[in-house]
Amino acid sequence: MRLFWIKIFKFEFWPWKVFYAPLLPYYLFLSVKCRSLTFPSLVNTCLQNGGFFEENKKEILTQIPAEYLPKSLYIERDTDFTSINSLMEHRSIEYPVVAKPLDEQRGKNVEIITDEAELLTYYLKVSKAFVIQEFVQFPIELAILYSRLPHERKGVVSSITIKEFLSVTGDGKQSIQKLLKANYRAVLIWEELLINAKIDFQRIPSFGETIIVEKIGNHCRGTIFRNATEIDKAKTAAAIDKIMADFEGFNYGRFDLKVKSVEDLYAAKNIKILELNGVNADAAHIFDPNYGLIQAMKDVAWHWKRLADIAAFNLSQGYSPIAFKPILNKILKS
């Protein structure tokens, strides 16, 4: 029963359709101003469908300078499995790696792969194009929402979220399983944990020992999103400006990245971008457990207004939005 009330009163666990429903009238208002229900498709003109739907990770990531990317290997649906290890070796990619489908979001089917047998299992399970990335060991993982008006070279960072992975701290008495059972985030995803977490649940950690249970930084994998107000947004925006200097037509998106330190973030070094999501990306800081619902709604409205401003400019430059029907069909199926 406790979990039921947590899912009712903590909006970070609401289905996305429920969370965004109260803001639908404002979206319609912005649509009227932009003369299109699909105005977000006008924002990132370099992407198919503007990245509004059927967003493809390869299409985006391959336009980012290689120095900011983990070593990666893109596997097409018809790639022969027997060739994958040699391709990994050619790119100096070693296990463990992270595998994720090119066309899915919110952590779906993202897995850490530790050997060839696990990779074969994953290959047979997903049956679609996916990317293999080296597992980046940098200690800080952030979600940074960045946007810029198309006629401006400098953008703004409006959201910085630090990800705290699902973990336990030992008391020298209880097993990892018992410690996890006291954490509602773990209990909410218990079945998935039993399948995905590569740990000994019966192990008893020593007093003060911290064990990271889930190393994939998605909310649906038990990660806590913290509003990182201590990180300077202006300095971060300057770093992203440098990274995106030659990425024409990309004006709005959220960087999911790892970095060695905050100082390195400001200096635009020792950064590895794991994903770059476009107009469908949430300002992840609003899902901080301490964030209020009303302020979260205000923040969403601000970001939608930002999308509309970018869309209106591109509309004035002759770009056209995509049709509404394919979007509607996708929403109804999701």
Q: Where are the domains of the chain?
A: 24-70+137-164+222-308, 78-135, 167-214
pLDDT tens-digit readout, 227-278? 999 999 999 999 999 999 989 999 999 999 999 999 999 999 999 999 999 9
Query: How much is the average pLDDT of 151-177?
Result: 96
Instruction: Give the pLDDT band of residue 53 (cuts 50, 70, 90).
Output: confident
- Higher per-residue pLDDT: 202 or 4: 202
**CATH no., domain 78-135:** 3.30.1490.20
Using the CB atoms, write b or e for 207-218: b if 16+ within 10 Å: eeeebebbbbbb
pLDDT value at residue 331? 66
What's the CATH number of domain 24-70+137-164+222-308, 3.30.470, 2.60.40, 1.10.10, 1.20.950? 3.30.470
Question: Residues 307, 36: contact at Cβ < 8 Å?
Answer: no
Query: How much is the average pLDDT of 15-24?
Result: 95
- Residue 322 sits at the vertex; the CA angle it makes with 46 and 282, to the nearest 5 degrees, is 65
The span from the CA of 264 to the CA of 254, in Å, is 19
pLDDT tens-digit readout, 81-93? 999 999 999 999 9
Instruction: Give the pLDDT band of residue 49 (cuts 50, 70, 90).
Output: confident
Question: Residues 111, 99: contact at Cβ < 8 Å?
Answer: yes
pLDDT value at residue 177? 95
Read off the tokens for 106: 């919110």
Q: Lowest mean pLDDT of 71-85, 187-201, 203-217, name the range.
A: 187-201
pLDDT value at residue 291? 97
Instruction: Give the pLDDT band of residue 212 (cuts 50, 70, 90).
Output: very high
pLDDT value at residue 77? 87
pLDDT value at residue 146? 98
pLDDT tens-digit readout, 288-325? 999 999 999 999 999 999 999 999 999 999 999 988 77
Instruction: Give the pLDDT band of residue 78 (cuts 50, 70, 90).
Output: confident
Instruction: Give the pLDDT band of residue 1 (cuts 50, 70, 90).
Output: low
Query: How much is the average pLDDT of 153-162?
Result: 97
The span from the CA of 207 to the CA of 89, in Å, is 40
Closest to 34 in 3D by CA, of 332, 333, 324: 324
Q: Lowest mean pLDDT of 108-112, 165-169, 222-226, 267-271, name the range.
A: 108-112
Closest to 149 in 3D by CA, of 278, 251, 25, 24: 251
Residue 334 has pLDDT above 70, yes or no: no
Instruction: Give the pLDDT band of residue 4 (cuts 50, 70, 90).
Output: confident
Give CA separation, 159 vs 266, 303, 332, in Å. Answer: 15, 10, 29
Query: How much is the average pLDDT of 16-31?
Result: 96
Share of the chain above pLDDT 90, in %: 79
* φ and ψ at residue 83, rounded to 5 degrees: -90, -10
- Work out the number of other CB atoms within 10 angstroms of the CB of residue 87: 14
pLDDT tens-digit readout, 163-175? 999 999 999 999 9
Residue 330 has pLDDT above 90, yes or no: no
